[in-house]
Each structure stands twice: as C-alpha cells, then as structure tokens.
Amino acid sequence: MLSVETYPSAAEAARALGPGARFLAGGTLVMRDANFALPGLSRIVRTTDASLRGVRTDRGEIVIGAATSMAEIIAHPDTTLLAPVARAIGGPALRNMASVGGNLFAPHPYGDFATALLALDARAQMADGAEIALSDLLARRDAPGGLVTALRLARPDAGTFRFRKVARVKPKGVSVMSMAAVLPRPAGRIAGARVAYGAMAPTPIRMPAVEQALEGATLDAAGIARALAVAAQGLSPPQDALASSWYRAEVAPVHLRRLLLEER
Amino acid sequence: MPKTPVTFTLNGAETAVFVDPGANLLDVLRRGVGDLSPKQGCAQGGCGACSVRIDGALHLACLTLAETVEARRVETTGGLQQGPEPHPLQTAFMECFAAQCGFCTPGMLMAAKTLLERDPAPSREAVIEAISGNLCRCTGYEPIIEAILLAAQRMQGRAA
C-alpha cells in the first residue's frame, strides 16, 4: 500500500526520503511505477515548495529549479539554449509535467536533458546545501539519499553548444541515443571540449576519449576524424527494443560526426 | 491508509471526491467521479489517451497524482460540448472520419483544443507537433490533422 507525504519545504521533504520512498516532481516516472505497483515504492514524498520551480540568472550562471518543467524551459528567455533539448522530449502533455530534476533520474533510454546538462558541466544543488558535479551525481544516482533542488550552469559561448537526439519514430520517439557537446574554439581550434552521450550506458555519461581526441583539432571533417575513431571507445551500450548494443556502438560515429559538424 | 478528500472543478462543476493514496487522476475521474471520457491506454505516459487539461494546460491524467489537482480546474472531453451543438472540433472529427475505433479521440480533442487556444490558425506542422504525444493506431493521423485544420478554419470564421 502506498502512502503520500506532502511537506511545505524541500528540506523537510529531503529529510523524509529513505528506503521505499521516491520524490514526486512531475510524476512521469514515479506515477508510472505507482500505476504498476512496482516493488520498492511504498512512499511518495512531495513538497509544495515553490522555490523548486523556475529559471533565474545568478552571478552570471543559469539556475534551473529542479521541478521546472520542460515546457517552462522552452518558454523561458534565459534557457533558449536548452529549448531544442526540451522540445525533443515527449509530446506537449508530457513536457508540461516532466521536470528537469526528474530527468536526471530517468532510467535508460530516457535522460536526454541530463545528457545536455552533462555536456554543459552543470552542478546539482542539493537540499542540504551541498553542490555536486552532475557527473558525480549520475554515477551514484541509484544510491538513496539527497534531493536535488536546482541545477547551475555557466552559459557557454555563443555557437559552441550542440545537441542531437536520434529516434526512430517521427516526430517524437524515444532515444536510440542522444549526444550533446560544448566546443569552445578560442583560436579556431577546439580547447576544453565537453561531449556527453545519453542511452549509450546505464546513465548519461561524459566521453573523455572523444574530448581528448578533439583537443586542438579544427572543427571540420579532417579535424574530427580521430574523435570519430574513438566515438564508442570503452562503451558497451545497453540493448533494448529500440536498438541492439552492437547497433548503438556501430552508428555512434555517424551521429557524432553529424553532431560535431551540424550535419542533418 | 485513509483516503484524502480532493475538491476541484471538473468542466466547470464543483467536484469533491475521496481518493486513495497514490491514486492517479485518470482512475479518480473514471471510477470516482464517473467521467468516462478520458481513456486508459498505456498507464505510463506513452499514448496520450488520458490527456486532460489542468488549469488550461495539457496533462496526462494517468501520471497525475490525483490529490495534486486540489482547487484546480480540470477539463475533459466530456465537457467539450457546450449547449446543444457539438464543439467545432467534434463536428470536424466526425466529418473527416478522424475517429475510427475512437479510443484516442478524447486525448486528440484535448490536445487540439489546447493548440487552437494558443494558435487559432495553426500550420500543418504545428498540428502534427500538438498531437505528437497522442498515438492513433487506426487512422494514420491524416484525417485527424485534416479535422483539426478544418475546425481551426471554421472557428476563425466564427470569431471574425
């Protein structure tokens, strides 16, 4: 039997989390589990804390409340950068519900927004005041503990952010894979690239081998060749009804090329 | 576990119902209130058959915790017809044969109504985007797209 606990503040809700408890934001993940009475879910914890919602700019950084919906990301002038990512997720109804914070915990093959945030080097603000790199949070996201209240990210230089979602169903389908990159080019050559994949591992992941291969490269077909060669290095992508593990690894260089060169 | 009282407006009418902990809005509408217009397809957010409007925004009732609609405004296809005539969207769906088995139709109508409120003269692309979260396994979508465009045209004519 399920119970629902509603707390006035995020901090109180965070303290109430524990074994058998899930935090409910947009509901698109937790209610699905509740509808199918999945084991391991006995308490739904939620909060009426309005501070979890909304986008603002703070000390030059974009701060996105964890309960902010995909529709709000599309509508807000401070997150136009991320609007194409949010638009690639679900249909209009789902986007009115699904939250940015929830996407960090969405099981494979979901998590397109988290993939973009990972490439943008976002940090998660926790209800206890701690700030964690998103890559660290994703690495231990299945371990219980903590509530994400917001995501913080520095605005990348104009024209350096790329996102690509590969789906079989048009116009809206679940990811075969998603890819995101930030490609700074201070002197015409790539320096400090960040590349992230979604649906290519149990959680969205950074691709250090690809990033290193891009270091100092020019952003053209010849310059990215070394990066394409290591596009799936070290990965054993998940296998599901959408794509086999082999297929995901095999087509990764094709989509990485299209991402980097902005080919359609 | 005690039930939770929830009050909201359903298609303009004050509605009060007791809900089980963790119950979704779709079950509460269908079993608790008796509004059978939203349908349960997948119960996991993939099909859109349960689409309803909450405070004017499209939501999936099957993934909405019922008690979160306290004091909010819920609209279903059951309330689409105002007065003796069907809503222009309903008429257009009939004329264009946009409903075959009809199971997706209530969700399609809610998605279409939301679109036309925001964009009274939508492009074909905008219609496709608006119903992109709603699955239809009968029509191939073409008659649905035609119906929404036809309804938009007529509603514009009426407004002018």
* B57-84 average pLDDT score: 97
In the block, which residue shows the tokens 């930030």?
A182
Report whether A92 contacts A67 (CB < 8 A): no
Beta strands (DSSP E) in A183-254 are: 194-198, 205-206
Residue to substitute from A31, A72, A175, interface B, most B β-carbons within 10 A: A31
Residue of A nearest to B134 (CA): A91
* B143-147 average pLDDT score: 98
Cis peptide before A186 (omega within 30 of 0): no
Closest CA to B26 of B12, B47, B14: B47
Q: What percentage of residues in chain B have a pLDDT greater than 90?
A: 96
Q: Please report the pLDDT score of residue A142 as a whole number.
A: 86
Report whether B59 contacts A96 (CB < 8 A): yes
CB contact under 8 A, A90 and B45: yes
In the block, which residue shows the tokens 């509004």?
B35
Average pLDDT, chain A: 96
* A165-194 average pLDDT score: 94
Which residues in chain A (148-177) have CB-CB distances under 8 A to chain B? 171-172
Q: How confident is the model at residue B160 (pLDDT cuts 50, 70, 90)?
A: low
CA distance to partner chain A, nearest, from residue B99 (Å): 20
pLDDT in tens, A113-167: 999 999 999 999 999 999 999 999 999 998 877 999 999 999 999 999 999 999 9
Closest CA to A231 of A247, A215, A250, A245: A250
Q: Please report the pLDDT score of residue A264 as a whole number.
A: 73
Torsion over CA: A45, A49, A55, A57 (sign):
negative
* CB nearest A97 (choices: B1, B22, B63): B63
Q: Please report the pLDDT score of residue B159 as a whole number.
A: 67
Strand bridging mode A3-7 / A61-65: unpaired
Tokens of B108: 């399609």
* CB nearest B62 (choices: A4, A24, A35): A35
Task: Note the ipTM here.
Answer: 0.96
